[in-house]
Chain A
Amino acid sequence: MIPASFDYIRAGSAAEALALLTEHGEDAKILAGGHSLLPLMKLRLASPSVLIDVARIRELSYIRDGGDHVAVGALTRHCDVQHSALLQADVPLLAHVAGLVGDPQVRHRGTIGGSIVHGDPASDLPGAVLALGATLVISGPGGTREVPAQDFFHGFLETAVGPDELLTEIRLPKMGGAGWSFKKFNLRAQDWAIVGVAAVGAQAGGGIALVNMAATPVRASAVEQAVAAGASASDAASSASAGLDPPTDLNASAAFRRHLASVLVRRALQEVEARARL
């Protein structure tokens, strides 16, 4: 499978990438690791006329201690997130989830920003940043703005990042020893989750996010409220799909997804409890 023809431009800096986006408009797409975009282009589901390769912009690849949070540059690769001692210590959920993306070859190329901006509701990282209450830093022609993860995912493969904007940084609140869990159900090791759950304990905000239960990753608000009110894991998990209309596809019916969500949320809540450090 061969993508449709396009012009390829390599950006040397974030400023240059933004200028190129302004110049080429909606016909241009940003290319980072390419592990979400190139498969779509090979299937001709996407055929941008210009690719702006940002993968070599070193200023956007970093993992820094920001005091109460860890700041991760959007072009940091999954393998670097997975193996970061800082993230393993302070945001262990994120390091763990990065290690579940695809396979080692994919993690050598794919970037955290690329995965989040792609906004696939079946991807693991968008769910993780939602549960963690991350802040997404977006640069555009008018400057920089910060968007809470809760407001970032707008629709299927649609995010708050506009056509002339670039996600530059992901800020993850330190978890402070809170328990956490990530559970996903899939048929083969490298598959997308049929349903997934990311959960963190109360000290880290108590966020619980569901993967592949809607057109975007979503917070399981009913479960969060039940847990905050002191419900047991089983009782809280029974409302896992409250208010949601999960998709039916060749892997699972909506009813099976609802069942998986309640089972996985229960297991996740139990693991959050077991992992909590005093």
Chain B
Amino acid sequence: MRVRITVNDHLEDHDVEPRQLLVYFLRETVGLTGTNVGCDTSSCGACTVLVDGESVKSCTVLAAQADGSAITTIEGLAGTNGTLHHVQEAFREHHGLQCGYCTPGMVMAAVSLIAENPRLDEASVREGLEGNLCRCTGYHNIVQAVLAASAAASR
């Protein structure tokens, strides 16, 4: 079937199998491999992307369901001149990563969380990231990074 999906402001128009999952559409059809597949069971959040501005787990969405939507992946956050998005900048500043595998999903989940919640405290960040697992258990710095990004966004 034909799907037309805007990915990072670029229209992608492809023939796909109805059973193709959004994450494989992004990684294999479009060629954007920044979005990782972790658990593949909608538990870990590594595959989190934004669909029309809201965080979703792309391993549990069909490309067909996203037809006509606008997707933002980790590749679409930085400015065209390479300037990091303020959430990416905060993750760098606060070293919100260890091995880095969960990072794209964590960053995308954080972007959505900050957009929906103008005032975040530590408890609401931890709860808001309940759908994202860091198997290095590096949560402390991730939470610090999201709090810093949230403060930067509200300034």
Contact = CB atoms under 8 A, between A and B. Distances in A.
13 contacts: A1-B40, A4-B19, A5-B18, A38-B60, A39-B41, A39-B42, A42-B40, A55-B65, A104-B55, A104-B130, A105-B55, A109-B56, A190-B130
Contact of B130 (A8, A35, A79, A103): A103
A19 B112 CA distance: 37
B109 interface: yes
A34 B65 contact: yes
Interface string A1-22: 1111111101000000000000
Given A108-B55, A189-B130, 12 more contacts: A1-B41, A5-B17, A5-B18, A5-B19, A8-B1, A34-B60, A42-B41, A102-B42, A104-B128, A106-B57, A106-B131, A108-B112
Contact of A34 (B54, B61, B132): B61
Nearest to B18: A8
B45 interface: yes
Nearest to B63: A8
A4 B18 CA distance: 10
B148 interface: no
Size bracket of the A interface? 20 to 34
B87 interface: no
B130 to A, nearest CB: 4
Given A39-B42, A104-B113, A105-B45, A53 B60 contact: no
Question: Which secondary structure dominates where chain B touches chain A?
Answer: mixed
A189 B123 CA distance: 13
Contacts of A105: 42, 45, 48, 55-57, 109, 131
B122 to A, nearest CB: 15
Nearest to A8: B18
B102 to A, nearest CB: 13
B19 A6 contact: yes
B92 to A, nearest CB: 24
Contacts of A35: 42, 60
Interface in B115-151: 116, 127-128, 130-132
A51 interface: yes
Contacts of A4: 19
B131 A2 contact: no
B77 interface: no
Interface string A100-120: 001111101100000000000
B7 interface: no
In the complex, the 5 A-B pairs of residues with the closest C-beta atoms, listed nearest first: A103-B131, A8-B18, A189-B130, A108-B54, A3-B19
B43 A190 contact: yes
A245 to B, nearest CB: 29
Interface in B52-97: 54-57, 60-62, 64-65
Contact of A109 (B61, B112, B116): B61
Interface in A11-65: 31, 34-35, 38-39, 42, 51, 53, 55
Contacts of B55: 104-105, 108
A103 B45 contact: yes
Contacts of A31: 65
